[in-house]
Amino acid sequence: MAPKLKMNIKFEKMKNKTFPTRLMLFMAVSTLAIVSCSNDATELDAETSLVPQTEVPADQGVEFITKYFMGDAVQVHLEDDGTYSLAGSDARLFEDQLADSPDAYNPNPVPGEELSGLALGGGIRKWTNNTVYYVIDGLSSSVRSELQKSFDEWSNKTNVSFKERTNQSNYVTISSSGSNSNSGVATLGMYNSRGYIQLGTRATAVVIIHELGHTLGYIHEQNRSDRDNHIIIKTENIQSNAQDQFYKSASATFLTGSFDVNSIMMYGSYTFSKNGQPTITDRSGNTLPQRQARLSTLDIQGTNAAYPSADGGNGNPEPEQDLCDTTANYSSSKSYSVGDYVLYYGRLYQRDYTRWNYIKNCN
């Protein structure tokens, strides 16, 4: 499991943005004080974040290989369903979201590349129309109740909504992993009908909200490149099989513009502890706030920057024609954030995690 939309497109302050966002889609993005790693699931120590986790025995032979995700070298494990767990965590990637070299990632794509056939495949994509469509398969009534609480937390506080699928081609299947635990795993971003969230039989909202963050395209907060300015990673206390989950990403996009220990995508102080001692503390050596089943203020601001409503907050979406009249032209000298709009040769585009999405012709 793991709980902000957060990638190397840093959500920096931009024109027409009240709060820039950095989604971390590197190992999507962003987690709670929660996880106990096993071969098939990551359990979050959500309620107490004090219980040391059980290390996976070395004789289980978990094999990791090196791939590149958004230009960064990462350790991934091939799961039975054909996806790859990012550094052994709860974030799942499909094969074409990874690459064999860093050259496959362009941190500064140009609008229109998808029309010329130059766009690179894979990567992370956000959900169109700010809507995540889902199918529920076999969850218990208690987990369904926690799932609804989690939907409400995101939809009541951000521009994102969750709707049951009718005939949409892009959707996630939410099902039980069969694990008797408060755990979850999720694929990163919108990825057609193969996207999924799998929840333990005791999954609670604190875990599910985090997994929905991965679905939106976010990675873990503690993987940010600037994390050492805000927290201390206590490597000596981390389970040996979980060391890679505390890597630093130079290029991932994170949910918030500033490091946020309260982010739903942040690990807790005792996540993956092998000895009951903290794996993460603040710069003064104090443990972090206990994880809560709610989005932080920065989670909300970051998500609304990445998934803008384009309505100025009045509940009435701005017509695309108005966007054509009010949007500035693309500039190669600017740094753009997920959610930004630009005009390029008369066409309207919106920035995604790893590409620009064509909206319409404004001529």
Contacts of 306 (CB under 8 A, 6+ apart): 5, 11, 21, 23, 126, 216, 217, 255, 337, 338, 339
H or E segment and range at residue 186:
strand 183-187
Strand 72-78 with 84-86, pairing:
antiparallel
Q: How far apart are the first and last CA of the chain?
A: 46
Encoded tokens for 351: 């920035």
The one-character DSSP state at 127 is P
What angle, rounded to 10 degrees, do the helices at 141-157 and 205-215 form? 60
113 is catalytic: no
DSSP 296-349: -HHHHHHHHHHS--SSTTSSSPPPHHHHHHHPPBP-TTS---TT-EEEETTEEE
Task: Pull the structure tokens for residue 268.
Answer: 């807790």
Phi, psi of 298 (to 5 degrees): -70, -30
SS3 7: strand
Q: Which helix (H) or strand (E) holds 115?
A: helix 113-116
Query: Under a CB-based contact definition with an 8 Å cutoff, are residues 183 and 177 in contact?
Result: yes
Contact 28, 7 (CB under 8 A): yes
Tell me how far the alpha carbon of residue 310 is from its chain's centroid.
Answer: 22
Catalytic residue among 79, 211, 318, 320: 211
| Residues near 338 by beta carbon (within 8 Å), at least 6 away in sequence | 5, 7, 9, 11, 21, 23, 126, 217, 253, 305, 306, 351, 352, 353
**Is the preceding omega at residue 30 within 30 degrees of 0, hence cis?**
yes
| Positions marked catalytic | 211
